[in-house]
Amino acid sequence: MHPRGPQTPMPALPNVHRYMTTPFKEQPMAWTWRIETSEGDPVALESGVPAFTSQSDAESWLGEVWRELADEGAGQATLLEHDRVVYGPMSLAAE
């Protein structure tokens, strides 16, 4: 027997996160693209380049907009995680 008497088990809490007093930390936007001309000069895009919380989101975005980027003068893109080059530069030319 417990020293303070019989213990009643706690009920299961299906939505534990609702009861937390400290909010979850937001994930930093770590994944970005460096957009450049074919010669490696930076391209100032009218719409800007968004940052993403995952590599797959960043790659999906580039897959959707690469033609528009090329129309704005972009010739290549390099994927960055914070300041680290993940891969690239890769061509944005239609082949």
| Token reading at 90 | 């890769």
Q: Is residue 70 pLDDT above 80, yes or no?
A: yes
Predicted confidence at residue 11, as pLDDT, reads 43
> Six-digit token pair at 40?
């490696």
pLDDT at 45: 85
Instruction: Give the pLDDT score at 46.
Output: 82
Evaluate whether 23 touches 69 at the Cβ level (below 8 Å): no
Mean pLDDT for the chain overall? 81
Model confidence pTM above 0.75: no
- Spatial CB neighbours of 73, under 8 Å, sequence gap ≥ 6: 37, 43
Measured CA angle at 12 (ends 6, 14), to 5 deg:
165
Write 54-60 long-range contacts (CB < 8 A, 24+).
55/31, 55/79, 55/81, 55/86, 57/31, 58/31, 58/32, 58/33
> pLDDT tens digits for 27-57?
577 999 999 999 999 998 887 899 999 999 9
